[in-house]
Amino acid sequence: MDSVSQRVLEYLTEVEEGAEEVLTIKQQIVDLDSRRNRNREALNALKTEVSEEKVKVCFGNMFIKFPKLKTREMIQKDQEQLDKEINELRKGLKAKVNRLNEMQGKPELRGYSLSPLSTDEIKAINSLFKR
Amino acid sequence: MATTKVPEVRDITRIERIGAHSHIRGLGLDDALEPRQVSQGMVGQLASRRAAGVILEMIKDGHIAGRAVLIAGQPGTGKTAIAMGIAQSLGPDTPFTALAGSEIFSLEMSKTESLSQAFRKAIGVRIKEETEIIEGEVVEIQIDRPATGTGAKVGKLTLKTTEMETIYDLGNKMIDSLSKDKVQAGDVITIDKATGKISKLGRSFTRARDYDAMGAQTQFVQCPEGELQKRKEVVHTVSLHEIDVINSRTQGFLALFSGDTGEIKSEVREQINAKVCEWREEGKAEIIPGVLFIDEVHMLDMECFSFLNRALESDLSPVLIMATNRGITCIRGTKYQSPHGIPIDLLDRLLIIATSPYTEKETRQILKIRCEEEDVELSEEAHTVLTRIGMETSLRYAIQLISTAGLVCRKRKGTEVQVEDIKRVYSLFLDEARSSQYMKEYQDSFLFNEKETPSMDTT
Query: DSSP letters of B44-107?
Result: S-HHHHHHHHHHHHHHHHT---S-EEEEE-STTSSHHHHHHHHHHHH-TTS-EEEEEGGGG--S
Domain presence at residue A122: no
Topology of B360-443 in CATH? Helicase, Ruva Protein; domain 3 (1.10.8)
A116 vs B: CB within 8 A: yes
Domain presence at residue A31: yes
Nearest to B319 by CA among B116, B62, B125: B62
Domain presence at residue A65: yes
A1 vs B: CB within 8 A: no
Domain presence at residue A72: yes
Domain presence at residue A37: yes
Chain A residue nearest residue B280, CA to CA: A114
A77 vs B: CB within 8 A: no
pLDDT at residue B13 is higher than 60: no
Taking 3-state DSSP, the helix, strand and coil percentages for chain A, each rounded to the nearest 5, stand at 70, 10, 20
Nearest to B173 by CA among B197, B189, B194: B197
CA distance A79 to A44: 13
CA distance B207 to B186: 6
Domain presence at residue A59: yes
Q: Is B154 helix (H, G, I), strand (E, B) or coil?
A: strand
CB-CB under 8 Å, A36 with B229: yes
**pLDDT at position B151, please?**
74
Domain presence at residue A118: no
CB B355 within 8 A of CB B77: yes
Contacts of A38 in chain B (CB under 8 A): 166
CA distance B405 to B402: 5
**% of chain B beyond a pLDDT of 70:** 88
Q: How confident is the model at residue B204 (pLDDT cuts 50, 70, 90)?
A: confident
Q: Looking at per-residue confidence, does A16 or B27 come out higher?
A: A16
CB B422 within 8 A of CB B447: no
User: Average pLDDT, whole number, for chain B?
Assistant: 82
Answer yes or no: CATH 3.30.1360.230 is held by domain B19-94+290-357.
Answer: no
Domain residue limits, chain B? 19-94+290-357, 128-234, 360-443
Q: Which residue range forms the structural domain that includes residue A100?
A: 3-107
Q: How confident is the model at residue B354 (pLDDT cuts 50, 70, 90)?
A: confident
Contacts of B167 in chain A (CB under 8 A): 41
Q: What is the CATH number of the domain that holds A24?
A: 1.10.287.370
Select the residue from A38, A41, A114 to test the B interface by mutation, using most B Cβ atoms within 10 A. Answer: A114
Domain count within chain A:
1
Q: Tell me the mean pLDDT in the region B198-207.
A: 86
Answer yes or no: CATH 3.90.850.10 is held by domain B128-234.
Answer: no
Helices (H) and strands (E) in chain B, counts: 14, 17
Select the residue from A25, A28, A117 to test the B interface by mutation, using most B Cβ atoms within 10 A. Answer: A117
CB B350 within 8 A of CB B308: no
Q: How confident is the model at residue B254 (pLDDT cuts 50, 70, 90)?
A: very low
**pLDDT at position B445, please?**
78
Q: Tell me the mean pLDDT in the region B132-147.
A: 88
CB-CB under 8 Å, A41 with B194: no
CB A16 within 8 A of CB A69: no
Q: Which helix (H) or strand (E) element contains residue A94?
A: helix A68-103
**% of chain B beyond a pLDDT of 90:** 3
Domain presence at residue A126: no
**pLDDT at position B257, please?**
47
Phi, psi of B323 (to 5 degrees): -135, 140
